[in-house]
A and B are shown apart, each in its own frame.
Chain A
Amino acid sequence: MTTATKTSSQLVVTDLAVSRGDNLLIDGLSFSMDAGDTLWVAGSNGIGKTSLLKCIAGLLRPDSGHVVWGEQDVHKYISSDTGYQGHHDGHKPNLTVLENLRFWQSVFASPIAPEYALEQVGLSAQINLRAKGLSAGQSRRLSLARLLIKRASLWILDEPAAAMDAKGRSVIHALVGEHVASGGCALIASHTPPEKIGNNTRVLTLSGAEHE
């Protein structure tokens, strides 16, 4: 799989409708993002933030509408240029922090050293600790390290600050800031008040549809 070239890093969402079970969560959503944009997705619990992010990542099929990232429909060709951090961290509890990352490095065929990524997220001291020994916040940090190793242009972060301390949140902001400054896009769903990151920060607030 080839990664999308930098010139085409534009995300276009057209007339998207997403439902979970029988519940229509999102209807008629259209927006677009260019390189360097940050978009915060806000809204109350159960409003469909996670489903929307999964759909944009290409992991959830929409009822209708299209998500085009780097000139390709992500539901036809899954884009490997997307870095997704969902609710589940996806670390194997019996592998050490370093072994977990080494595995992802081989899957992503990435040149970035796991040790470097761990240093960036502040986990250098836990490098040989098994993942089951990590706290919830440290586990989120490990997910961030995986995101760094992947080197994708589009970052989709679902509650990255959940269980993170203030220092952890500032690490996220610094990393996202660096990412958008170098021409990436970031979509962040969060309950913390949105903050300005990079030159172009917007907030998308999801509100309930008129029907249940």
Chain B
Amino acid sequence: MNSIGGLIVRDIRIALRSGGAWLLGLVFFAVFLSMSAIALGGEFKTLRPLAPALIWLAVVFSLLFSFEHLFSDDAEDGSLEHIKLSGMSMNAYVLAKVCAHWLLAILPLIIALPLAVLLFDLPTDILLGLFVSMVIASPALVCYGAFSGACLVGFKGGGFLLVLLTIPLVIPVLIFSVSGAVSFQNASLFQVLEFQALAGISLIAAAIGIPAAAAALNTVME
């Protein structure tokens, strides 16, 4: 437990000292949304129905490119060998990396969500729906991304493959998230079927993605 906490603290500290590189996802999120608003004419009337889908696309795209270096830095500089030899299980290591990545990549997007909603002049119900869908779906996004990232450790220029590998896993999440955020308006939290499905996907992703990523890392190292 101690070492998981140590790893999370280390990753956050490294990110904060990276000269703002960890905010790239957030910047992409903001740029994508404002460009979409401009491209679609800037009329609230046309933008409003598209907004939940656009916001979710921005989330998925901004995350996709963040998984390439999730494990490759530790693998390339030799840290991973020492972690393996420390007796820490690979599952615990992947779990720590996933938690740190959630804090660094997803939390800023969740915090920025009200601003995105402001941009499209959306009602509060939709903001809440988007917020809930982000919270429930984000474990699935991070775990699937971690699995793809672990598979491609050691591949130079694996970013392209990573996108191909992650997209099919992320599509169900995207479908349920967008329709869940919209249908949340006139229902209570537990009545929204999409959110139940999302919670299921997230649990499956965590149960499969973390051990699969750990197994991939073990294989890649040998």
Contacts and interface: CB of A to CB of B under 8 A. Distances in A.
A and B physically associate: yes
A92 B18 CA distance: 11
Given A106-B6, A107-B3, A109-B3, A59 B84 contact: yes
Interface stretch (A9-17, A78-86, A182-190): A78-86
B88 to A, nearest CB: 6
A95 B12 CA distance: 11
Contacts of A1: 87
Contacts of B10: 92, 95, 99, 103
A92 B14 contact: yes
Give the one of B13, B76, B81, B221 with max A CB within 10 A.
Answer: B81
Contacts of B88: 107
A107 B78 contact: no
Contacts of A141: none
B82 A94 contact: no
A57 interface: yes
Contact of B78 (A58, A87, A99, A109): A87
A59 B83 CA distance: 11
Interface residues of A, number: 31
A61 B219 CA distance: 10
Contacts of A150: 86
Interchain residue pairs A-B with the least CB separation, the first 4: A88-B78, A80-B87, A1-B87, A106-B6
27 contacts: A57-B85, A58-B85, A59-B85, A60-B222, A61-B222, A78-B85, A78-B87, A79-B85, A80-B86, A87-B78, A88-B78, A88-B81, A90-B77, A90-B82, A91-B77, A92-B77, A92-B79, A94-B13, A94-B17, A95-B14, A95-B17, A102-B6, A106-B2, A106-B3, A106-B6, A107-B6, A150-B86
B5 interface: yes
Given A78-B85, A92-B77, 12 more contacts: A59-B221, A80-B87, A84-B82, A88-B78, A90-B78, A91-B77, A99-B10, A103-B6, A103-B10, A106-B2, A107-B3, A109-B3
Nearest to B18: A94
